[in-house]
Structure 1
Amino acid sequence: MYIHTGDTGIIYNNWPAMNRYMDYLRNHERSRYLAPDQDTTGYGDWIAFQGTGYEVMADYCYGYVVMLMRDMADIICDYDKSEFYGNYFNGLKEMFYRTHVTYNKNKETKQLTIKLGMGSPVMQDKGGIYEDNSQTVLLWLLKLGYYKNDDIYEEAVKLLVENIKNENPESSGVRAGYSINSLSVGFLGVNVIAPVLTEAGYSSVAYDLLLNTECPSWLYEVKNGATTIWERWDSYSIKNGFGDSEMNSFNHFSYGSIAEWMYCYMVGISAGREGFKHIVLQPVPDTGTQYNEEERISKVNAVYESCYGQIKSCWTAEGGRLVSYKATIPANTTASIYLPAEGCLVETKVPSDIIKYIGETMHNKRKVMHFEAVSDSYEFMVSDLKKLEII
């Protein structure tokens, strides 16, 4: 709510209750810096095809809520709590690494393993077959920064991309039964998979997942008649009919979280500061190669209704290269614009106090052209991959 409205009242009003909840979690840790026991309450990565131990997921979520508490403490200037939660996050990170991660490096190989975890007997059959280095466990390691150095980060990214591409899966593993460019996450992995890939410089892999039509995927549901988001990836198929009837909602938003990535990265509209007072425009064209009957995405046009008014973002591309970009920044706001048109000569007649070219920079592991702009509508045109004209 705060990110989208800029209203700190919701934090102030709930701050005492949130701190009492954090006290409860600390008082019920199964060991110092480890989340409370999940034997009777764990849900884990619900309805995943490749399972992740519930204790592992609980420890990730514990770290995540502590990170949010640190950030909220900064927002309301409670600096004592900010320091406390920052230090506690570091303790959780260190304990997670000692408990769940092994990493061996020599001259020839690197071996990173994020271990299975015990799993909860109550919900054992609702989170897939457990395997080390599942997509979800790698995703959350990257999202939270639960790695000690760049080598571990790079190895985690490599393992994640290999898992998704699924070109040479182990014959005895879960992934052997599924297509290339496929996901295997459940409720706790689906919301982070495309953002983490994009921020790691693998937006084309995120697009590969979006365009997959085999189960499990979003378009598999569409191909089988879906007009809403299902609770299970395989809730229904034209060939086999309805899936498990125990819990099989056909109006269940969780997997619909891909829409957040579509707005924030594909379209490229994201909140730079509270309530979209400052906006980040970061369009990410599809640079992938067609691998099934689905054509690659070459144009996007979207509007977001912010508290300050409509934010518009529209781009076209050819062969994965940006050709045009249009944006509208509403009144009383500013924006940082990151365009994947590196190497182009910038030509503009727009005054520099309206839009200013800052230079080339790295953004989401990709070289981009950085602009700062005030409220107005802008059009960018790329000519022959050499010139970027601002109209």
Structure 2
Amino acid sequence: MSRIFLFCLGMLLTLSAYVPVFAQKVNVFDLKVEHQINPLSIETPAPRMSWKLETGLKNISQKSYEIRIGTDPKGIRSNKDIVWTVLKNTPQSILVPYEGPALKPGNRYYWQVRVTDNYNKTSAWSDVQSWRMGIGATDWTAKWIALPATDTTKASPLFRNTYRLNKDIKSATAYISARGLYEAYINGQRIGDAYFMPGWTSYKNHIQYQTYDVTELLKKGNNVLAAMLGDGWYKGRIGFNHQTNFYGDTRALLLQIEVLYNDGSKQILATDEKWKTSLGAIRASDIYDGEVYDARLEKKGWTLPEYTEGTDWQPVRVMDYSYEGLVSMNTPPVKKQERFKVKDIFRTPEGDLVVDFGQNLVGWVELKAKGEQGTKITLSHAEVLDKQGNFYTTNLRTAKQQNTYILDDQTEQIFSPHFSFQGFRYLKVEGYPGELAPDNLTAVALYSDMPQTGTFETSHPLLNQLQHNIVWGQKGNFVDVPTDCPQRDERLGWTGDAQAFFNTAAFNMDVSGFFTKWLRDVRADQHTNGSIPFVIPDVLTSNDAGAAGWGDVATIVPWGMYYAYGDTRILENQYGSMQAWVDFITSKSPQHLWNKGFHFGDWLFYRPDDDNDGRAAVTDKYLIAQCFYAHSTQLLANAANVLGKTEDEQKYNTQLEHIKRAFQKEYLTPNGRLVSSTQTAYVLALQFDMLPEHLRQQAADRLVENIRSYGNHLTTGFLGTPYLCHVLTQYGHTEVAYDLLLQETYPSWLYPVKMGATTIWERWDGIKPDGTFQTPNMNSYNHYAYGAIGDWMYKNMAGINPDEVGYKKIRIEPRLGRGITSTSAKLDTPYGMVSSSWKLENGIFKLSVSIPPNTTATVIMPGRIANVKEEQGKEVTIGSGSYYFESKIE
């Protein structure tokens, strides 16, 4: 038996009681409103405020808080112009709701907070932060404007109008939306740094508008407001079968600027019948196919006041569109992120000029070029090269992923798309004038601007690359909606992928605002019978059957949001959707057995070629469905408990018992064997507690036998993979979980890494060991679902676990595995930074942890080594602060 010794702990805990607390105070920082910093458009009438504490002291918690809110950033510091103030004795520091007088649409409010800690020491007031309330349907005076005739052109329309401002400007706020995508300008300056606005939502139910502070862009005198539109998801090709005009056939702009002058008067500048429109240099723009830009057709200076409109500028058409569906944007916008220099330029065996950027990414390439007028440069994008080293685009299906630029004259220009993005590592360049140099090309990553919250690193280089691939799979597929893939003619918000990956996503980045927005579309596009579409926003409306593991996103992600961020309101908002989904399943489940209808099953499970031995890991799709039926019912009962819906909680807990009994009767033999003896079958049955307690351990042992029979390889697909290693650890087989994680041959997580992947693949063998490809019609090399293993790595290798919603209580429980000598991770929780870093040296386990103020943690030291059966480790509870532990393992 291992012996564990904790060094330094007693000393640290003892000394913390004698820290001279009078010498230090707690500071308040990182103020947020509705998960955002200084948001410009808050829709809810009761915004929620959050903050974090920082201090050099240990065992610090918040005893009370005081908030003050005013209408003037200077006056608030002297308690003037105060709208609301509150003092409460509570440790709550996340999502504290506003409870003062009604807030006015469009108004900006400023706030501060200070806290008193458990030593009765009061902090200084925080820095002043702010938020602006959104506007409602009755606050719009702008009119929707469009091209004068039927919108059949592929070219991007331009819109402009000139205004004269005769007074000194105090402030100016722009509100902009579009049917299609827009880029807007004031006096030649782009408004904001976001792309693909107004974002992709369930347009038939609601369209977002964006709010911008444009005070610095306007001036006294003549000003021009301008914008151009692209097809985007609204009108362009979306989904399968070349589907276009899904949401509408006319692109339209809505723009309104509210100007406040120094003398207190106001003026509104808005789109109306006085605006003019024309066509510009963007001749075609499509999400899948890319953009065609003809510089010869540029209307140079058209966004500037001094520009003279010619006869090709026509009066706009005013559209009779409603304002009712307009909602404020409360999600991080898509922005430019990392930039990549050229790694290599070479000729393929087929003679193509190809550029390698070294990373599979999503965004576009900035091209620098000059040449004779009419020179046509074509940039084609691909993820991989084929076995012979040639440019490979078959897996893109019908998506061209191609940008074309036509030069105007010998003036050097920098080109990049406006309303399209590509998924790529490699670039084929055709028609470039002269010699192509590395400095002529830069790859730019674009994704939703989510702050990084987690880091993870180990002593194993391949695992570090796996983590890199997980993160880049997330970046590339979190482009406003959580897409399955970012490159082929799909790029849809597949629900099964999103629920499988949510926990991993919430560690790597702050996805609170991102998923809040997307869940709104989940409930908006949910069918009237309660079923959930396969993709959100729903552009595949032909099927409303609902599928296990896909439709369950309606319960899994809201509960994940609540647990990761302590967000009760997300449960309130989604509860009706959660309930409708479970009730839909019940309506399809006589005798509580969901054994009918269409299901994807355990998507992309292990299927060896020419399988004559029954080694293909086919799991009964109705067994899977029954497990997810139970899981969603459990989560609904949990949500009912949190929200105080006692009758619902009792109802669904009772229903859950019937669901599990039906499962056992239908799929379980008296000896504990499942009718499908696959890894996924046992994983789901164990993860969701479908088996009688006395049969669970032997089921876990059967799972291990199965894994061993495949030579320590996994065989799971999209639904079994996220839970596989968690179940093994839960039932005392962490060493088997490590065997799977460290497996380097197909199928495994590290096989693609060994094959040179820089993102997560859709298939375990997207590229076969012989260098050939899997089924090209469905073979993405940037697909995050299998990256769900990250959740197990963070919680078990680094040992960072939430023991209470929002990480109010934390459990640090690292688990050792073969060959891993160190692991470190950090996670910026709603309360602050948690870190866990350990090394194993000469039989001594050395652990450093940091716990944020206003939380507590339980530290569980490992009591085993590789090849030794796991046993209970030593436990200790600590308050906030930094600590060091050692344990000797024999």
Q: Shared topology, TM-score over 0.5?
A: yes
Alignment of 1:180-329 (within 5 A): 180-237=711-768, 239-286=770-817, 288=818, 296-318=819-841, 323-329=845-851
After superposition, the C-alpha distances for 1:35-64 in whole angstroms (9 at most, x for unaligned) are 2623xx310100111110111111111011
Q: Which residue of 2 aligns with 1:144?
A: 688
User: What is the TM-score with the length of structure 1 in the denominator?
Assistant: 0.77
Counterpart-to-counterpart distance in 2, 1:142 and 1:284? 21
Counterpart-to-counterpart distance in 2, 1:20 and 1:161? 37
Task: Indicate conservation of the 8 Å contact 2:863/2:870, yes or no.
Answer: no
Amino acid at match of 2:729: T
Counterpart-to-counterpart distance in 2, 1:158 and 1:318? 32
Task: Indicate conservation of the 8 Å contact 2:861/2:887, yes or no.
Answer: no
- In structure 1, the residue corresponding to 2:738 is in which secondary structure? helix
- In structure 1, the residue corresponding to 2:732 is in which secondary structure? coil
Counterpart-to-counterpart distance in 2, 1:211 and 1:21? 38
Counterpart-to-counterpart distance in 1, 2:693 and 2:812? 30
Counterpart-to-counterpart distance in 1, 2:844 and 2:668? 40
Amino acid at match of 1:139: V
Q: Which residue of 2 aligns with 1:2?
A: 562
Counterpart-to-counterpart distance in 2, 1:22 and 1:76? 17
User: How far does residue 141 in structure 1 lie from its aligned partner after superposition?
Assistant: 1.3
Task: Indicate conservation of the 8 Å contact 1:285/1:322, yes or no.
Answer: no
Amino acid at match of 1:42: H
After superposition, the C-alpha distances for 1:241-262 in whole angstroms (9 at most, x for unaligned) are 2111121111111100000001
Return closer, same or farther for 1:374/1:133 CA change in 2, 3 Å cut-off.
same
Equivalent position to 2:881, from 365, 376, 379: 376
Counterpart-to-counterpart distance in 2, 1:54 and 1:6? 34
Return closer, same or farther for 1:285/1:2 CA change in 2, 3 Å cut-off.
same
Task: Indicate conservation of the 8 Å contact 1:199/1:365, yes or no.
Answer: no
Counterpart-to-counterpart distance in 1, 2:798 and 2:626? 33
Amino acid at match of 1:140: L
Matched, 1:163 2:706: yes
Q: Which residue of 1 aligns with 2:602?
A: 45
Return closer, same or farther for 1:324/1:193 CA change in 2, 3 Å cut-off.
same
- In structure 2, the residue corresponding to 1:368 is in which secondary structure? coil
Q: Which residue of 2 aligns with 1:338?
A: 860
Task: Indicate conservation of the 8 Å contact 2:850/2:882, yes or no.
Answer: yes
- In structure 2, the residue corresponding to 1:32 is in which secondary structure? helix
Q: Which residue of 1 aligns with 2:575?
A: 15
Counterpart-to-counterpart distance in 2, 1:230 and 1:23? 35
Q: Which residue of 2 aligns with 1:34?
A: 593
Counterpart-to-counterpart distance in 1, 2:684 and 2:623? 10
Q: Cα RMSD between the aligned structures?
A: 1.8
Matched, 1:81 2:648: yes
Counterpart-to-counterpart distance in 2, 1:265 and 1:325? 14
Alignment of 1:124-135 (within 5 A): 132-135=676-679
Structure 2 unpaired stretches of 5+:
1-560, 607-616
Counterpart-to-counterpart distance in 2, 1:51 and 1:148? 24
- In structure 2, the residue corresponding to 1:187 is in which secondary structure? coil
Counterpart-to-counterpart distance in 2, 1:23 and 1:257? 28
- In structure 2, the residue corresponding to 1:332 is in which secondary structure? coil
Q: Which residue of 1 aligns with 2:302?
A: none
- In structure 2, the residue corresponding to 1:3 is in which secondary structure? helix
Counterpart-to-counterpart distance in 1, 2:563 and 2:844? 29
Length, aligned pairs only: 316
Task: Indicate conservation of the 8 Å contact 1:5/1:274, yes or no.
Answer: yes
Counterpart-to-counterpart distance in 2, 1:137 and 1:237? 26
Counterpart-to-counterpart distance in 2, 1:46 and 1:377? 43
User: What is the TM-score with the length of structure 2 in the denominator?
Assistant: 0.35
Counterpart-to-counterpart distance in 2, 1:270 and 1:227? 27
More helix by share: 1
Matched, 1:153 2:696: yes
Following superposition, which runs of at least 4 residues in structure 1 exceed 6 angstroms of deviation? none
